[in-house]
C-alpha cells in the first residue's frame, strides 16, 4: 500500500467536509481506480466523481495515470478564477 495526500477544493471540499486527508492506496492504483474507490467508500463524494478534475503533484492527470507513492493529489471541479 502507498500513502498519499488528498486535497479538496470548492464543492469537493464542502462535500468531503475536510480540506485534506491521507489515504492508503494499492501500489498500482490509477486515477480512475481512485475515483472508483472514493465512490465506494465516501458516499458524499460519489456524485462528484463523474466530473472531478484530479491532479498528481500539481499536474493534470489522465484517468489511466498510476498514482506514485507519497503523491499529493488534488480533487476539484472545473476552475472558475478571474
Partner 1 sequence: MRLSFRRTRSWRCSRLCREDDVGATLVVAQGRDEPSPCIKCMEFPTVFSITEDEIDLNDLLAKITSTSTGAAAIFTGMVRGTTSRGAAHETEYLEYEAYVPMAEEKMKQVAQEIRARWPTVEGIAIVQRIGKLFPKTPTVLIACTAAHRDTGVFEAARYGIDRLKEIVPIWKKEVSPGGEFWVEGEYFPKPGE
Nearest to 75 by CA among 2, 26, 28, 44: 44
Shortest distance, CB of residue 55 to partner 1, whole angstroms? 6
How far, in Å, CA of 70 to CA of 79, rounded? Answer: 25
Shortest distance, CB of residue 44 to partner 1, whole angstroms? 15
Interaction between residue 82 and partner 1 (CB under 8 A): yes
Q: What number of chain residues touch partner 1 (CB under 8 A)?
A: 21
Please report, as residue ranges, which positions from 7 to 66 form the binding site for partner 1 (by CB under 8 A): 7, 9-11, 14, 53, 55, 58-62, 65
How far, in Å, CA of 68 to CA of 62, rounded? Answer: 13
Amino acid at each position: 500500500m502507498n500513502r498519499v495526500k488528498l486535497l479538496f477544493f470548492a464543492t469537493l471540499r464542502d462535500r468531503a467536509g475536510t480540506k485534506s486527508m491521507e489515504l492508503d492506496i494499492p501500489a498500482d492504483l490509477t486515477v480512475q481506480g481512485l475515483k472508483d474507490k472514493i465512490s465506494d467508500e465516501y458516499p458524499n463524494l460519489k456524485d462528484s466523481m463523474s466530473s472531478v478534475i484530479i491532479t498528481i503533484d500539481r499536474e493534470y492527470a489522465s484517468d489511466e495515470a498510476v498514482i506514485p507513492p507519497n503523491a499529493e493529489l488534488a480533487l476539484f471541479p472545473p476552475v472558475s478564477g478571474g
